[in-house]
Structure formats: C-alpha cells, structure tokens
Amino acid sequence: MENIKDVVKETNLKHIAIIMDGNRRWAKLKNLPSAMGHKKGVESLKATLKACDDFGIKYLTVYAFSTENWNRKQEEVDFLMDLFCKTLENETKEMHEKNVVINFIGDLVNLPEKLQNILKSSSELTKNNTGVNLQIAFNYGSRNEIVHAVKSILQKGMKSEDITEEVVSKELYTANMPEPDLLIRTGGEMRVSNYLLWQIAYSEFYVTQKFWPEFDKEALEEAILEFKNRQRRFGA
C-alpha cells in the first residue's frame, strides 16, 4: 500500500471534515443500548485524531451535535451532554500533551453554563499547541451559522456592494481555517445534514457504509486513497 503520509503531501490534503453517523445503528445491530454506540464513537474519534497526526493532516472537523439533535429523546440528549462533558474532562489533558489544538464551532452561548466552561477551558489550555487542529461542531447547524454571519455583517453597517464571499467567510465559525478538502460521512447516508454548507462548496465527498464506531485508521487510509484519485477542478 502507498505511504499515506506521502499521499497527503502529494495531494495537499490539509483539512478533513467528518459526519460521524451510525452510533445508534451500530449499537442496535449488536443488541446494545444506544449509549454504548456513542461511547464506542468516542474511541473512534480518538483513533481518527491519532491517524490524522500520523498522516500529517493539519485540520480535522467533526460533527458532534447538531442544532436538530435537541429533538431526540430527552434521555438521550441528557446522556450525550454528560458524555461530552466527561470526555472533555478526561481527554483534554492527554490531547494537550499530544499537541492537539481544540476548538469548538456552533451556537455555544446557548449551551448549559457548565458545558460552556468546559469548552472554554479545553480551548484555552490547547490554544498555543502546534499539532492537529481539532474542530468539534457542537450545537451546530450550517444554516444557523450563515444567518449568524449575515446578522454580524449587518451590525457592522456594511454596504451591500462591499459584501463579498471573503467578507461572509470571515464571519463564519470557521473563519481561521482552510475549507475542507475532503468530507467523509460514515453510515452510508447520502446527505450533508446541514453541515458546513458554505465551506464544502468544493470539497470531495466520500461515503462509507461503515458505522462511525467501526471507523479506524485503515478506514481513513481508504478515504485518503480515494481522494487521491479525484480530479479537483474547482469549476474550471
């Protein structure tokens, strides 16, 4: 097999975005509670983050909790909030030691205060690191993000003729990072689910039938090798 680190350099692959789908379906197939699927999904994220570091990928953005996920059963929402808090409390120190930069994108101001404090603490601790930049999309919805950007532009009193794509991009949650080169969706679904709609305008899509708890370093390798075979024309 080709050296994946060389492939990443050759293709100039900087940023991978992932829709981590299939935790509940994986658990159901194994006759396990949904909670076990979500816990196993955390392990897959850790493995994927390490793989990105090994392969030389600078940015990884993952869809952890959408603005629509609040519509799930309250019991599951409460579990996910608790899991997210505990995971960050338990894993941030190790990620910091591994030089990971942790950022969060989404409507964070409306999250519970305890969770907001944990997010701020994780970001503050790792902000000066120089390894993989991990963006966790939490309480995130792309349409909501674009509306937020438009409101911000209006509040600045800008004239319509001065509003460009670059201006809008600078008001998005992802303003300080390159757009994703590759969007991966696990679980076999063929939709983007209100995720990074502006940013993935020219991203390559890769859908795998593997559920997120099954995703590992080898699965990421397969996605990168497929990316290598794509011809990115950017409309040209």
Q: Which residues are catalytic?
A: 21, 69
| Measured distance CA(139)–CA(67) in Å, rounded | 5
| DSSP strand pairing (15-19 vs 204-207) | unpaired
Structural contact between residues 138 and 70, judged by C-beta atoms closer than 8 angstroms:
no
Q: Return the number of other C-beta atoms located less than 10 Å from residue 33's C-beta.
A: 12
Distance CA 211, CA 171 (A): 33
Give 179's DSSP letter.
P
Is-contact 109 77, C-beta < 8 A? no
Q: Is residue 101 within 8 Å of 127, Cβ to Cβ?
A: yes
Tell me how crowded residue 72 is: count the other CB atoms within 10 A of its CB.
15
Check: CB of residue 133 under 8 Å from CB of residue 140: no
Q: In the chain, what is the straight-line distance between the N-terminal and C-terminal CA atoms, in Å? A: 31
Query: Across the strands, what pairs with 207?
Result: 185
Residue among 219, 146, 185 at smallest CA distance from 63: 185
With residue 54 as reference, give the H or E element that holds it.
helix 34-55
